[in-house]
A and B are shown apart, each in its own frame.
Chain A
Amino acid sequence: MAVCIAVIAKEVTVPTQNKLKFHYTVHTSLDVVEEKVSTVGKSLGDQRELYLGLLYPTEDYKVYGYVTNSKVKFVIVVDSSNTSLRDNEIRSMFRKLHNSFTDVMCNPFHNPGDPIQSKAFDGIVSGMMVQTG
C-alpha cells in the first residue's frame, strides 16, 4: 500500500508513480522534513536518527520521511486506510530503500544527478509497492 516512493537527492526525484498528485504531496512534505532536520540537527549534533517518522497525515495518505546523512530524502506515501503497517515496518522499508540507493550510488557507471536507472533498485521499489499494496 505504499502508493508512492520518492527519492529526493540534490535535484532528482523518482516518484515511482508519476502522478502530479503525489508530486504535490511529496513536495509539500519537504517543508516538514526541512523543519525536522533543522531542529534535530541543532540539538543532537551529528548523531541523528535518519528516520523522521510520520511527516503528516492527510485524509487519504500518510507520509513518512527519511533523510540520509548526505541529505538525500526518501519519502514514502502509504494509504492511510492501511493499518497493518506499523512504524517498524515503515522503518525497515526505509532501511531497505537506503541500502538499495547506496548500491546504486556505488555503481561506478552511475552519474550522480542522473535519473536512477537500475533494475535492482526498481525491483526493490516495486517490490515494496506490490508487497504492501
Chain B
Amino acid sequence: MSVPDYMQSAEDHQTVLVVVQPVGIVPEDQFFKIYKRIATVSQVSIRDSQRLLYIRYRHHYLPENNEWGDFQTHRKVVGLIAITTCGSAKEWSQTAERFHGQKEVYSSTLYDSRLLVFGLQGEIAEQQRTDVAFYPSFEDCSDVEKRVEDFVESIFIVLESKRLDRATDKSGDKIPLLCVPFEKKDFVGLDTDSRHYKKRCQGRMRKHVGDLCLQAGMLQDALVHYHMSVELLRGVNDFLWLGAALEGLCSASVIFHYPGGTAGKAPGRKLSMSQAADAGKRHRPGAQEVLIDPGALTANGISADTSTEIGRAKNCLSPEDIIEKYKEAISYYGKYKNAGVIELEACVKAVRVLAIQKRAREASDFLQNAVYINLGQLSEEEKIQRYSILSELYELIGFHRKSAFFKRVAAMQCVAPTIPEPGWRACYKLLLETLPGYSLSLDPKDFSKGTHRGWAAVQMRLLHELVYASRRMGNPGLSVRHLSFLLQTMLDFLSDQEKKEVTQSLENYTSKCPGGMEVITLPDGLKLPPVPFTKLPIVRSVKLLNLPVSLRPHKVKELLGHNMSTASPFIYSPIIMHNRGEERCKKIDFQWVQGDVCEVQLMVYNPMPYELRVENMGLLTSGVEFESLPAALSLPAESGLYPVTLVGAPRTAGNITVNGYHTSVFGVTSDCLLEGLPAVKTTGCLVEVIPSLPRLQLSTSLPRYKTLNSHLTVSVQLFNGETQQLTITLENIGSEDIETLELTSKIVSTKEKVFGNFLSWELDEPLSHLPLKPGQAVTLTVNIKVKLDFSGQESLLQDLNDDGISVTGLPISSPLRQVLKPRPENKPVSSEPGKAEYSHIKTLEAVLNFKYSGGAGKVEGYYRELSLGVHVDVEPSVFFTRVSTLPATSTRQCYLLLDIFNPTEHELTVCAKNNQDLVLHASECQRMAIQVDKFDFESLPQPDQETARFTNPKQLQEERQHAQGCQINSKLGICWSIISFQSLASFVV
C-alpha cells in the first residue's frame, strides 16, 4: 500500500467501498455521467432494520490497497459495478467475459457485483438477471439509482451475515489470524497454539468485527468491540493492530459526536439532509440500544446479556480522548515503516477532527508529523498532491501562511527540474492560490493607501515566481501585468539593483507584448485588474493653468450681471464649506476656450535611481471632447520636483474635468486617475470651456521692448514735443471671424504731467473692414505725441551754470507764466527737492487695449482683450532759460525775448509765427525776439460752476495756468526741428 488517500476522513470508516469501473469501450463523459448518478446513492436506509448503510464509490482503486481490507474493512472493495456498452448480441459473450475478468481483480473481497450494459437490445436484454441490467442507451436508464439501491441492499445482507458470523464465533473455534500484507511472512512457523498467539487472533478478530459493526450501522456495538480489542491487543503488544483498534474507536466516536461529518464534502450526505436529520433523532439506529460494558463481556464473544446498563457515552470517547487516542494510534503506526500510508491517513483524519474542534495548534502538530512520514520514493505527481493536501489542511485549521507555504512548494514541485515536462500552467495556478496567504492581492488599489500590508520580502519572491511561471506558460501579457504590479507596489522595497533588473526585464517583455490597461481574465475566471504606474513618475500636484492674458476670455458686463443672479444671494458669507471631497470637483474660476490650446501643470518626480523616460504623457478628461497632445519627457535619476506641462485643446464647449493622466513607461501604458491618488494635490479639476473666439495678432512698425508685463510692448524714443506715427497691423490668426473691435488707451500712472493727447487714432477705417476673416489683416495708425514738463530739473540747471550762462529766476520751460505772473509760492511740482530725476530722460507708458470678439463666443457674450504697451523715452528738446519782454514799436504789441537753450546733441532750428528761423547748435543758447500782440489773461473764460467746486486752490491754479498756457501757445506758435532728422515738432509749453 503506497498511495495514500488524502481525502479520507474518520467517518469513512463506516462506509462500504464500491468500485465503479468501465468495462470495454465506454465514452468517458458518459461513464462519469452514470458514475455521478450512482454516487448519489451514498446512503441507503435498510428496509427492516432502521439502519443506514453508507457507500463510498471509487472509479479507480488499487488492488494493492484492497489487500489491506482485513486491517480496516472500509478499505475493502465489497462491491463492483461495471459499466459497459454492447452494440450487438455477438459482442455480449465477450463483454460478459470482460466483466468476469474485472471481478477477478477484487474477487477475494467482493460481496456482490453488478454489470450495467448500455446499448444492447433484443433477446439477451429480455432475460431477467439480477447481476446484469440492460439499458437501451445512456439516456434511457431511469432506474439506475433504484438498481444501485437494490445492489447496496444485497451488499448489506452479505455484510450483516458476515458480521453475525464473526461476532458469534464460538470460543472453541479456532479463530484465524488476520494480518496485513507485509506481516504474512513474519508469522510463518509461529506456534499457533500459544496463549499469546490466540489472544492476538482474538484481538484482531474483535477489531475486525468492530469494523463490520461500524459499517453495518451499529455504532455502539462497534465501540464495544473496539474497546475489547484494545484491551486484548495491548496485552500482547500487537502495536499495529492496537493502533487500528484505537483508530476504529476514534472513528466511531467521531461519527457519534459529529454526525455532520468532518470532511465537509460528501455531496450525497448533503442531498439527503432530511434523512440525516431523521437519523439524528433516532439516536443512531445502528446502536440498537445495546449498552455494554466492555469489562462485562467475555473475551470470546458478545454475550447477549446486556443487562448492565451503562451510559452510551461511556463507551464513546470524549472529544479530548479522541485526540489522545489518535495520537497513540499514530505513534503505534509509526513503529512500522510499511504502515506509512495508514499513519499518514490517520494524521489527516485527526487533523480534520481537530479542525472541527477548532484546536488549530494541536492539528498543526499532527500535520507537522505528517510532513515527516516517509512513504519511500514518491513520484513527482504524488509529491505535488501531498503538498497540496497539506496546504489545504493548513488552510482548514486557519494557518493561512503555512498553507500558502506548502502550496508554493507544491507549485515549485510542478516545475521541478527532474520533471521532463514542467507543468507551468499548474504551477501558475497553484501560485495564484498562495496569494491570500501572503496578504497579497493582484489589485493595485489595495496597496495605494495606507501602509504596506504583508511581508514584502516573500511577496516579492512570489511575484517574481508568478512572472516567471507566466512567461514559461507562454503568456507574456500576464508576465507584464505581474511585473508591473511588482514594480508598482513593491517599489519602496526594491533595492536600486533590483529596480534596474525589474525594469530591464519589463522592457524585454513589453518589447514583445506591450502592457495596457485592459483587465486580463484568466481561464478560471480570475480577473487581473490593470496596474497603472502611478509611482513612475510620482505626481505631486496637478494644476490647471489659465490661458495667457491675451487669450483669456472676458464676459460682457451686462451678461455677467445676469449670471450673478443665479448664484448665491449673498455677496459675502463667513461660512466656508469645508468639504474636502468636493475640493477636487471644485470649479476653477477661469475659462478655457474651445479650440485653443490649454495647459495643465504637473509636478512630478522620478523615484528611480536612473533616468526615467516617460512617453506619450497626456491628459485624461471627461465632459467635452478633448484633443490631448501627448508629451514625452525624460526625468533625471532621483529628480526633485519637476514641472511638466501637458497640453491639449478642447474641441467642444461645456464643462471639462481633468480626471487624470496617461503615460507610457517601459512599454506599459497606464491611465492614472486622480481619484485613486490621494497624495496628489490639486486645486480643482473642473473648468468651463466656452465657445470658440477669434484670435488677433498684432505687429507694429516700432521695435519691441522687453518688459515684465505679459503683453507686447513697443518702444520709441522721442524728443519732447515730437510726434511719431505707429502703424499697427491687426491680423486674425484664429479660425473665427472678428466681428467687433474696440480700442481704448490708458496711460500708465505717472507723476509726469502730460499735455495734450498722448495717443490718438482713427478707428473708422479699420472698422470698415470688419468682419475680419481668418488670415486677413487691417492696419491702424496711432499718433504718439509727447509733451512733458521738463522744468525745474536740478541737474539740468547745473549744466546750464557750467556753461557760464547767467540764469535768473527759475529755469522753466514755460517761463512765460513765471514772468507774467510772478508768484513766489507757485513753484512747479516737479522742482521740489528730492524729486528730481537723475536722468534727463523721462519715460511715458501707455497701454492700448483692443477688445474684440466674434464667432460662437460672441453669441455667449465673451470677448477677448489684447493689449499693446507703448513705452516712450522722452528726451528734453528746447529750453527757455530766460524770458523777458521789451516794448515793441506798436503799443498793442511787445517783444518777447526768449533765451533758448538746445540741450540735445543735434543742431536744431526754432521758428515762431511770423518770425525767422533760429539755428541752434548742440548745447547752444541763444536769444530770440518775437513780436506779439498784448493780451489780457482776464479775458479768458472763467471756469464754470462745475469746475469751481475744486476747493483746492492749487488745483484751481493749475487749471488756470493750463488755460493761459494754451492761449500763449496759440499766439506764439513756436516750433522747432532737428535739421538732421528732418522732423518737425511743435513747441511745448
**Taking the complex as formed, is A117 at the interface, i.e. its CB lies under 8 A from any CB of chain B?**
no
Interface mask (A13-28 → B, CB under 8 Å = 1, otherwise 0): 1000000100110011
Please measure, in the bound complex, the distance between the C-alpha atom of A57 and the C-alpha atom of B361, giving whole angstroms. Answer: 13
- Residues of chain B touching chain A, judged by Cβ–Cβ distance below 8 Å, are 360-361, 364, 368, 372, 394, 398-402, 405, 438, 451-453, 455, 457-458, 461
Please measure, in the bound complex, the distance between the C-alpha atom of A86 and the C-alpha atom of B131, giving whole angstroms. Answer: 68
Please measure, in the bound complex, the distance between the C-alpha atom of A36 and the C-alpha atom of B451, giving whole angstroms. Answer: 26
CB distance from B152 to the nearest CB of A (A): 42
Please measure, in the bound complex, the distance between the C-alpha atom of A23 and the C-alpha atom of B457, giving whole angstroms. Answer: 7
B364, A32: Cβ atoms under 8 Å?
Answer: yes
Q: Is the interface of A mostly helix, strand, loop or mixed?
A: helix
Residue of B361, B405, B453, B457 touching A28 (CB-CB under 8 A): B405
B455, A28: Cβ atoms under 8 Å?
Answer: no
Residue of B361, B405, B453, B461 touching A36 (CB-CB under 8 A): B361
Please measure, in the bound complex, the distance between the C-alpha atom of A112 and the C-alpha atom of B364, giving whole angstroms. Answer: 34
B-chain residues with CB within 8 Å of residue A59 when the two chains form the complex: 372
Q: A24-B405, A32-B361 are in contact. List 13 more A-B contacts (CB 8 A).
A: A10-B451, A13-B455, A23-B458, A24-B458, A27-B458, A31-B364, A31-B399, A31-B401, A35-B360, A35-B361, A36-B361, A39-B361, A56-B364
Scan residues 33-80 of chain A and give those whose CB is less than 8 A from a CB of chain B: 35-36, 39, 56-57, 59
CB distance from B401 to the nearest CB of A (A): 5
Given contacts A36-B361, A56-B364, A56-B368, contact A23 B455 (CB under 8 A): yes
B452, A11: Cβ atoms under 8 Å?
Answer: yes
CB<8 Å pairs between A and B, sample of 15:
A10-B451, A20-B457, A20-B461, A23-B458, A24-B405, A24-B458, A27-B405, A28-B402, A28-B405, A31-B398, A31-B400, A31-B402, A56-B368, A57-B368, A113-B451
**Taking the complex as formed, is A3 at the interface, i.e. its CB lies under 8 A from any CB of chain B?**
no
A32, B399: Cβ atoms under 8 Å?
Answer: yes
B-chain residues with CB within 8 Å of residue A36 when the two chains form the complex: 361
B360, A30: Cβ atoms under 8 Å?
Answer: no
Between A27, A31, A35, the greatest number of chain B beta carbons within 10 A of the residue's beta carbon is seen for A31
Interface residues of A toward B: which range? 10 to 19
**Which chain A residue shows the least CB distance to B363?**
A35
Please measure, in the bound complex, the distance between the C-alpha atom of A39 and the C-alpha atom of B394, giving whole angstroms. Answer: 17
B-chain residues with CB within 8 Å of residue A32 when the two chains form the complex: 361, 364, 399
Please measure, in the bound complex, the distance between the C-alpha atom of A10 and the C-alpha atom of B451, giving whole angstroms. Answer: 9
Please measure, in the bound complex, the distance between the C-alpha atom of A31 and the C-alpha atom of B453, giving whole angstroms. Answer: 16
B-chain residues with CB within 8 Å of residue A35 when the two chains form the complex: 360-361, 364, 398-399
A-chain residues with CB within 8 Å of residue B360 when the two chains form the complex: 35
B-chain residues with CB within 8 Å of residue A56 when the two chains form the complex: 364, 368
**Nearest 6 A/B pairs, CB to CB:** A31-B399, A28-B402, A31-B401, A23-B457, A28-B405, A31-B402
Please measure, in the bound complex, the distance between the C-alpha atom of A11 and the C-alpha atom of B457, giving whole angstroms. Answer: 12
CB distance from A64 to the nearest CB of B (A): 15
CB distance from B439 to the nearest CB of A (A): 10
B-chain residues with CB within 8 Å of residue A28 when the two chains form the complex: 399, 401-402, 405
Please measure, in the bound complex, the distance between the C-alpha atom of A56 and the C-alpha atom of B366, giving whole angstroms. Answer: 12
- The A-B contact count (CB < 8 A) is 47
CB distance from A20 to the nearest CB of B (A): 6
Please measure, in the bound complex, the distance between the C-alpha atom of A36 and the C-alpha atom of B172, giving whole angstroms. Answer: 56
A-chain residues with CB within 8 Å of residue B461 when the two chains form the complex: 20, 23
B-chain residues with CB within 8 Å of residue A31 when the two chains form the complex: 364, 394, 398-402
CB distance from B228 to the nearest CB of A (A): 37
Please measure, in the bound complex, the distance between the C-alpha atom of A20 and the C-alpha atom of B368, giving whole angstroms. Answer: 21
CB distance from B214 to the nearest CB of A (A): 33
Between A24, A30, A39, A56, the greatest number of chain B beta carbons within 10 A of the residue's beta carbon is seen for A24
Please measure, in the bound complex, the distance between the C-alpha atom of A56 and the C-alpha atom of B360, giving whole angstroms. Answer: 13
Between B368, B400, B452, B457, the greatest number of chain A beta carbons within 10 A of the residue's beta carbon is seen for B457
A-chain residues with CB within 8 Å of residue B451 when the two chains form the complex: 10-11, 113
Please measure, in the bound complex, the distance between the C-alpha atom of A31 and the C-alpha atom of B394, giving whole angstroms. Answer: 10
A-chain residues with CB within 8 Å of residue B452 when the two chains form the complex: 11
CB distance from A62 to the nearest CB of B (A): 12
A-chain residues with CB within 8 Å of residue B402 when the two chains form the complex: 28, 31
Given contacts A11-B451, A32-B361, A57-B368, contact A27 B398 (CB under 8 A): no
Please measure, in the bound complex, the distance between the C-alpha atom of A10 and the C-alpha atom of B452, giving whole angstroms. Answer: 10
**Which chain B residue shows the least CB distance to A39?**
B361
CB distance from A111 to the nearest CB of B (A): 13
CB distance from B551 to the nearest CB of A (A): 49
Please measure, in the bound complex, the distance between the C-alpha atom of A57 and the C-alpha atom of B455, giving whole angstroms. Answer: 22
Interface mask (A92-127 → B, CB under 8 Å = 1, otherwise 0): 000000000000000000000100000000000000
Between B360, B372, B461, the greatest number of chain A beta carbons within 10 A of the residue's beta carbon is seen for B360
Please measure, in the bound complex, the distance between the C-alpha atom of A28 and the C-alpha atom of B364, giving whole angstroms. Answer: 12
**Which chain A residue shows the least CB distance to B455?**
A27
**Which chain A residue shows the least CB distance to B365?**
A56
**Which chain B residue shows the least CB distance to A19?**
B457
A-chain residues with CB within 8 Å of residue B401 when the two chains form the complex: 27-28, 30-31
A20, B458: Cβ atoms under 8 Å?
Answer: yes
B-chain residues with CB within 8 Å of residue A10 when the two chains form the complex: 451
CB distance from B772 to the nearest CB of A (A): 65
A-chain residues with CB within 8 Å of residue B400 when the two chains form the complex: 31
Please measure, in the bound complex, the distance between the C-alpha atom of A32 and the C-alpha atom of B364, giving whole angstroms. Answer: 8
A13, B361: Cβ atoms under 8 Å?
Answer: no
B-chain residues with CB within 8 Å of residue A23 when the two chains form the complex: 455, 457-458, 461
**Which chain B residue shows the least CB distance to A23?**
B457
Please measure, in the bound complex, the distance between the C-alpha atom of A27 and the C-alpha atom of B406, giving whole angstroms. Answer: 12
Please measure, in the bound complex, the distance between the C-alpha atom of A30 and the C-alpha atom of B399, giving whole angstroms. Answer: 9
CB distance from B463 to the nearest CB of A (A): 13
B-chain residues with CB within 8 Å of residue A20 when the two chains form the complex: 457-458, 461
B-chain residues with CB within 8 Å of residue A39 when the two chains form the complex: 361
CB distance from B267 to the nearest CB of A (A): 30
Please measure, in the bound complex, the distance between the C-alpha atom of A30 and the C-alpha atom of B455, giving whole angstroms. Answer: 11
CB distance from A91 to the nearest CB of B (A): 20
B-chain residues with CB within 8 Å of residue A13 when the two chains form the complex: 455, 457
CB distance from B425 to the nearest CB of A (A): 24
**Which chain A residue shows the least CB distance to B399?**
A31
**Which chain A residue shows the least CB distance to B454?**
A11
Please measure, in the bound complex, the distance between the C-alpha atom of A130 and the C-alpha atom of B453, giving whole angstroms. Answer: 32
Please measure, in the bound complex, the distance between the C-alpha atom of A113 and the C-alpha atom of B461, giving whole angstroms. Answer: 22
A-chain residues with CB within 8 Å of residue B453 when the two chains form the complex: 11
Please measure, in the bound complex, the distance between the C-alpha atom of A28 and the C-alpha atom of B407, giving whole angstroms. Answer: 12
CB distance from B493 to the nearest CB of A (A): 11
